[in-house]
């Protein structure tokens, strides 16, 4: 985890704790970005690495690939039934509610199987692997020490927000606390603090808005 955090610090050029595709055009973005928002955090990247390793080894699929069971009520239950893969529990229990649901397991299972598929692209549109991108950014960071990239913190309309944040259009009214049709810097910083306080912040925000799912998935 320390290695993952340190490497993420290199990729996170504006040091806000997450990276956008523009910062890090991850060759496995669609699958690594497990919660389908417009940002990738170090935990998602770490899970992606672990699942890729798991796919290459082939041991998990060989032993449990045909299992019909898809739910576990607790970490203890998972550990008892799959002691050789007990370490996977926190990467499957994505909402960290102490159990593995069928949906969480299906997401994990699909993610692992995708990497086994030889047709799945291992490079991005520029022909770079994840390692190539990491080395490129490390070199750039060494050359630009002390320089910070400013992150946009305000939007003048919901249309502007929708264009730039198409995967989280639904959350605009939650951030726009004064309902003036804009998101200012204070409102943006407020949602960042909200994210820190609520691990499952998207579901919590949806509940407060009276939504059960994003309007624009």
Q: Which of 76-80, 138-142, 207-211 tops mean pLDDT?
A: 76-80
Assess if residue 37 is contained within a domain. yes
- Does residue 148 form part of some domain? no
- In terms of domains, do 95 and 42 share one? yes
118 band by pLDDT with thresholds 50, 70 and 90: low
Residue 170, domain extent: 158-209
Same domain, residue pair 92 and 177: no
What is the model's pLDDT at position 216? 47
**Domain shared by 104 and 134, yes or no:** yes
- 82 within some domain: yes
For 25-42, what is each residue's pLDDT tens digit?
766 777 777 776 778 888
Gap between the Cα atoms of 138 and 172, Å rounded: 34
Give 151 or 185, the one with higher predicted confidence: 185
pLDDT of residue 148: 40
Residues 63 and 166 in one domain: no
162 plus 63 within the same structural domain: no
137 and 36 assigned to the same domain: yes
Report field, pTM of the whole predicted structure over 0.85:
no
Domain co-membership, 180 together with 100: no
- Under 8 Å between Cβ of 152 and 183: no
Tell me what pLDDT residue 73 has: 95
In a domain, 30, yes or no: yes
Give 127: exposed, middle or buried? Use CB within 10 Å, 0-12, 13-18, 19+. Answer: exposed
Is the residue at 83 inside a domain?
A: yes
- R_g (Cα) of the chain, nearest Å: 19
Domain count, the chain: 2
- Is 109 found in the same domain as 201? no
The pLDDT score that the predictor gives to residue 134 is 54
Across all residues in the chain, what is the average pLDDT? 80
State the Cα angle at 1 between 47 and 15, rounded to 5°. 90
- Asked whether residue 136 is domain-assigned, the answer is yes
Q: Does residue 214 carry a pLDDT above 70? A: no
Q: Which residue has the higher pLDDT, 99 or 136?
A: 99
């Amino acid at each position: 985890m320390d290695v993952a955090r340190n490497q993420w610090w290199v990729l996170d050029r504006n040091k806000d704790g997450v990276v956008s595709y523009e910062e890090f055009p991850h060759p496995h973005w669609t699958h690594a970005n497990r919660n389908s928002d417009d940002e990738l955090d170090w935990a998602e990247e770490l899970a992606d690495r672990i699942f890729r390793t798991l796919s290459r080894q082939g041991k998990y699929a060989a032993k449990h690939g045909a299992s019909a069971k898809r739910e576990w009520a607790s970490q203890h239950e998972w550990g008892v039934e799959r002691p050789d893969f007990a370490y996977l529990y926190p990467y499957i229990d994505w909402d960290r509610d102490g159990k593995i649901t069928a949906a969480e397991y299906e997401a994990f299972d699909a993610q692992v199987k995708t990497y086994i598929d030889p047709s799945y692209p291992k490079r991005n549109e520029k022909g770079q692997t994840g390692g190539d991108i990491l080395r490129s950014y490390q070199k750039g960071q060494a050359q630009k020490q002390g320089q910070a990239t400013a992150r946009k913190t305000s939007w003048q309309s919901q249309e502007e927000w929708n264009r730039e944040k198409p995967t989280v259009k639904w959350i605009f009214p939650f951030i726009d606390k004064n309902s003036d049709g804009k998101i200012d810097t204070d409102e943006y910083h407020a949602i960042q603090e909200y994210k820190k306080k609520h691990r499952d912040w998207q579901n919590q925000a949806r509940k407060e808005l009276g939504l059960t799912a994003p309007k624009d998935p």
